[in-house]
Amino acid sequence: MTARRERARARRRRRVALIACACALAVICARAVTPRRARERRADARTPRELTLASHGAFLALDVESKAARVIHRGRGVYYGTFEDGSSSSDAVWVASRPDNAKTRTRTATRGDALLRIDAKRGEILEERAIDAAFTHDVVRRGDSVFVADTGNGRILELEYPSMRTLRAVELSVKAHVNTLAPADASEYGEHAVWAVLHNLGPSEVALIDLETGRELRPRLTRVGTKSHGLVIYEDRFIMLNSGEGQLISVDPSGVEDYEILWTDDSRTFMKGLCVIDDVAFFGVSAFGRREDRGDPNKSSDVVAFDLVRKRELWRQTVMTHGLLNVIAAPQIESSTWSHAHWNANSPSLYAEWIPLAAKQTNNCEATDRNSLLLTYDDVDVHLLRDYIQGLPRDVFKESGKNGNALLGGRDGNMQKFKPNVDGMLLFFSDRGGEHVFEFPFWKRLEPYVQPVLIDLFTDQLGVSDPLRHVIRLQLAVMNPGSEILPHVDTGDWARRHHRFHVPIIVPQNAGAVEFVMMPESGQEIAVPLIEGRPFEINNAVTHRVRNSASSWRIHLLVDFSEQPTAKRHVLKPGDVCDYAKMGSGRCVAVT
């Protein structure tokens, strides 16, 4: 297992470097088209990140950000395994369909098991292929091979893709009740080897089977739970569902150690459907019931998102699945149900808490993965703050309109050099080291409108009970029409030791009129999605630039945030002029 672990680690290291560079290459390719097409592509770049849910009565899609579910297809009995189409039509997916009579587990059904190629947007069946299987429980694809759990006949099949012609079949037993397949590492075990979860209607097993020779390549794993489902290869472990005990578990593939319990449902509900994307396990939880009730059209199931790194539940969503939930997948990703997968490389990750501060020591593409460049968060409600800002005088962000606030001196040169024609409003500001924090008088005016935004982001999403105590800088950044922020990095300990969050408050609606671009040292660029109310964190130690070509304001709330509460806090009075160079002493206002 040592050599296997090293290979897994090497693959992860390569993937980290490739992901960041893939992010950049996606933007480079977009820039090669005409400006108008580039603007259109940027406007449409953010596609929903959807899971597919295959149940006893429907095939559905679930948006993991909005939690909105939609039915893709109904009326073809029980839906099971799902895999990507692999053709130029990105909307087409394959899903297994079998008769809905739970008692029909052999080939005597009037309509046999089949693979349906479905347009996931329109819900139309584009193609149908009958398969020589019964009571199918799983279908997965790797390259030119499709593997089928022929549960009713106690077999595992290997089909040729895309013809779906049967190439190989290995007999197990009907009693084994094979329910999950995961292609094994081809470099170690060959292209035709699969891990198979054997439910056994009791204490379960995992077998490693070579479909080319029909041999089992190693002793079966027995420490895998009871009535288990699902198997996702994650780092050097297997993530599985111990359905008999209502548990998400981590299994040692060597069989030496007992499994680790990651999550338990106190109700010991039935668990089925599992995939892992970006270190998050998505799995299904359903109430126990009679087998004949599994196709009840009024039956719902829960989908749970669990962070495998921090080992905590992220959310749990009830979905009307129109029957028992069987399989969760992301069919646009070939390996989503059997190997740790990733969303599109040009999309920021979900559910990471914040960028690791260690990443602010580098500006190198090869050393910086996407979680160290850009993260986005769930939308927050900004309408109160937006409405308040839109009701302010137009000059409120200019020097002439700042009567009643304090002024900050000693930074004019920097602003003119990198941010000409960019205005703002300071609410809190720190010294260069980020140790002394000064509250500006305008904070009291805006507190009723800004505080709810801070609570939405930092308390509700990041679990910080009193976010204001962690804020070292808080300001409204106003890009006037036609303004630019030139390429720059933020320097000083205030930047290196703290997190920089943006909350877009007002974003011009003209497609492509506003852009925010990260520029790692490689020279390749990563576009930041700008959507009102959708917060994001950037690594501001990496070069970045911003442009507003619209005829209206672009206004963001900027928050520089400390992981620990800051103690050295000071309050400025209206009319005070604070010298930036003296902030580090705790006294920045000249005594007259």
Task: Give the pair of three-digit tokens for residue 372.
Answer: 């160290």
User: Does residue 487 lie in a domain region?
Assistant: yes
User: For residue range 390-399, what is the model confidence (pLDDT) as tens digits?
Assistant: 999 888 898 7
Domain that holds residue 440: 357-585
**Residue that is last in its domain, among 329, 347, 373:** 329
Q: Are 288 and 408 contained in the same domain?
A: no
Q: What average pLDDT score do residues 77-87 get?
A: 88
Same domain (yes/no): 150, 75: yes
Mean pLDDT within 257-280: 91
Q: What is the pLDDT of residues 98-127, one digit of tens each?
A: 997 544 444 444 468 999 999 999 999 999
Residues 273 and 398 in one domain: no
**Whether residues 289 and 372 fall in one domain:** no
Q: What's the rounded mean pLDDT across residues 157-186?
A: 96
- Looking at residue 524, which CATH number applies to its domain? 2.60.120.330
Q: Is the pLDDT of residue 11 over 70?
A: no
84 or 154, which is more confident? 154
Let me know whether 207 and 66 are in one domain: yes
- What's the confidence (pLDDT) of residue 511? 64
Q: Are 393 and 467 in the same domain?
A: yes
Is position 1 within any domain?
no
CA distances to 117, 236, 516, 577 from 128, in Å: 6, 37, 45, 74
Residue 153 contacts by C-beta under 8 Å, 6 or more apart in sequence? 106, 107, 133, 134, 135, 174
- Asked if the model's pLDDT at residue 400 lies above 80, the reply is no
Higher pLDDT, 311 or 138: 138
Residue type at 166 in one-letter notation:
T
State which amino acid sits at residue 153.
N
Domain boundary among 312, 329, 346: 329
459-465-468-472 Cα dihedral, nearest 10 degrees: -90
Which CATH number do you get for residue 98? 2.120.10.30
What are the tens digits of pLDDT across the range 404-463? 899 999 877 766 777 888 899 999 999 999 999 999 999 999 999 999 999 999 988 888
**pLDDT at residue 39 above 70?**
no
Tell me whether residue 40 is in a domain.
no
Q: What pLDDT, on the 0 to 100 scale, is given for residue 412?
A: 75
Burial class (CB in 10 A: 0-12, 13-18, 19+), 80: buried
- The pLDDT, as a whole number, for residue 509 is 85
Looking at per-residue pLDDT, the higher value among 529 and 320 belongs to: 320
Say yes or no to pLDDT of 36 above 50. Answer: no
Q: Would 367 be classed as within a structural domain?
A: yes
366 pLDDT exceeds 60? no
Residue 6 falls inside a structural domain: no
Mean per-residue pLDDT of the chain: 85
Which pLDDT does position 441 carry in this prediction?
Answer: 96
Q: Look at the pTM and tell me if it is higher than 0.85.
A: no
Last residue of a domain, one of 329, 346, 373: 329
Residue 17 in domain? no
Residue 120 Ramachandran class (φ > 0 left, ψ -120 to 50 alpha, else beta): alpha
- Give me the mean pLDDT over the 479-489 stretch: 91
Are 74 and 218 in a shared domain?
yes
Average pLDDT value for residue range 249-267: 93
In this structure, are 212 and 319 located in the same domain?
A: yes
Does position 362 have pLDDT exceeding 80, yes or no? no
Closest by Cα among 423, 558, 418 to 500: 558
Query: What does the pLDDT read at residue 319?
Result: 96
The answer to whether residue 526 is domain-embedded is yes
Query: Region 536-549: what's the mean pLDDT?
Result: 92
**Is the same domain home to 129 and 226?**
yes
User: How many distinct structural domains can be found in the chain?
Assistant: 2
Kindly indicate the confidence band of residue 40, based on its pLDDT and cuts at 50, 70 and 90.
very low
Which pLDDT belongs to residue 159? 98
Q: Is 46 domain-assigned?
A: no
In contact, 343 and 349? CB cutoff 8 Å: yes
Domain match, 321 and 371 both:
no
Q: Is the pLDDT of residue 37 over 60?
A: no
Residues 321 and 389 in one domain: no
Residue 491 vs residue 89, higher pLDDT? 491
Q: Are residues 308 and 387 in the same domain?
A: no
According to the per-residue pLDDT averaged within each range, which of 96-105, 109-118, 128-137, 502-511 is highest? 128-137
Cα dihedral: 570, 491, 360, 440 (round 10)? 20
